[in-house]
Amino acid sequence: MRLGLDSVQARRGSRPGRAAALAVTALALVAAGCGSGGSAGSGGAGTSTGGAGTSTGGAGTGAAKPATRTFTDASGKQVTIPAEAKHLGLPFPYNTSDAILLGACPRIATTTTYSLQQSWVVKFCPSIAGKATPYQTPGSWNIEQVVSSGVDLQFAPSGDAADVGKLTSAGIPTLVLPDFASLDGLSAAVGFEGRALGGTAPQRARAYQQYLAGKLAAITAVTSKIPAAKRPSVLAVDSDAGGSIHVLGAGTIMNQWIGIAGGVNAARSIAGAAPTEVSVEQIQKWNPDVIVAGLPADAKAMMADPRLKGVKAVINHQVLTNPAGTIIWMYYGTEEALNIQWAAKELHPDLFPELDLPAVTKAFYQQFFGYQLSGEQVSSILHPPS
């Protein structure tokens, strides 16, 4: 099951930040199988397997470097792509974030409106400013704009056969992306992208996978020992500050990171990957210990809502705003490696006394995005301004 960027924007109205928050959920490319998508997720976090995402005829097989190679995408189709693509078509915010992490900022040719609206994306990748954004409506991408931008490698979701067909007819090498709804799948998807981009990207992808696997192991070594009675109930919310409240249930990556961090998803009874609208009465019934909102405005709105004044998270001032960098951390991007650390520290500070989130955050962006954050900048990521 997947939401398209256009439907997110339509449902969320004109608030760009809100379209952003849920767009990333949509972008996660979560299929109905929730994590079964092809090559993504068949190994542990930090691992990758063969099959989808493999290539043949790569550089180094002869005296002359080949101009192209054959790459097997997540649908199992073999596609001829450049040996090292120079102009990337990135239809989802997490693709853009991943490309920057993989050292491919100068190669980004097209991106999303959401990505261009994120100040950290532009700080980490100044050359992205002004790039075309042809991916507003799934099934009706602006193919002419993709062509005119010189894209020589395009990514696409598994459910968008219409755009894939148009791109293929236009002669643009197009790879269907893996679906994922887990940290294993996210790790494998980064590996897939790294292998597709070529150059130093595969090595950078492996470094990220190792980092994610290491942090996951360190956190779960502690939280796996927490008895059920001491695991707080956590509600991950994607909501409009002025209206409906949407929560993220069992079929989302949120369900996994809550468990990893030592909590229990209050909305675990909700199946599927799509954000689901719920009533205030349902939230009162769940009575979560902690609420995590995607935007500061949403956290403030929930704290101020008189209908929620009896909810434990509100009473105890545990309505938290998730940190945000290139995307909101709790969604499906590479900053999920930071999010599991943030969540563990927030839910169980006594169990992670040595976990210095500002230092961890600063080191992560230096290592993977090549950007030296000031203390003030670190604080603005960990505590997004309204």
- The CA distances from residue 244 to 15, 78, 298, in Å, are 14, 44, 11
**pLDDT digits over 152-181, tens only?**
999 999 889 999 999 999 999 999 999 888
Q: Check residue 386 and give its pLDDT.
A: 79
Q: How confident is the model at residue 63 (pLDDT cuts 50, 70, 90)?
A: low
- Mean pLDDT for 319-324 is 97
Secondary structure letter of residue 386 according to DSSP:
-
Q: Check residue 272 and give its pLDDT.
A: 83
Pairing of strands 78-82, 276-278: unpaired
287, 14 contact by CB (below 8 A): no
**Whether pLDDT at 34 is above 50:** no
Q: How confident is the model at residue 373 (pLDDT cuts 50, 70, 90)?
A: very high
**pLDDT digits over 335-359, tens only?**
999 999 999 999 999 999 999 999 9
Largest CA distance in the chain: 72
Q: Check residue 65 and give its pLDDT.
A: 74
| Distance (Å, whole) CA 267 – CA 275 | 11
| Distance (Å, whole) CA 22 – CA 237 | 10
**Whether pLDDT at 17 is above 80:** no
Q: Check residue 53 and give its pLDDT.
A: 64
What is the CATH superfamily name and number for domain 227-382? Nitrogenase molybdenum iron protein domain (3.40.50.1980)
Of 19-23, 181-185, 339-343, the poorest mean pLDDT is in 19-23
Pairing of strands 55-56, 290-293: unpaired
Q: How confident is the model at residue 184 (pLDDT cuts 50, 70, 90)?
A: very high
- CATH number for the domain formed by residue range(s) 5-56+67-216: 3.40.50.1980
**pLDDT digits over 190-247, tens only?**
999 999 999 999 999 999 999 999 999 999 999 999 999 999 999 999 865 456 889 9
Same topology, domains 5-56+67-216 and 227-382? Answer is yes
Q: Domain boundaries in the chain?
A: 5-56+67-216, 227-382
- Mean pLDDT for 294-309 is 93
Bridge partners of residue 72, in order along the sequence: 78
Q: How confident is the model at residue 256 (pLDDT cuts 50, 70, 90)?
A: very high
- Mean pLDDT for 269-284 is 90
Q: Check residue 238 and give its pLDDT.
A: 82
- Mean pLDDT for 114-119 is 95
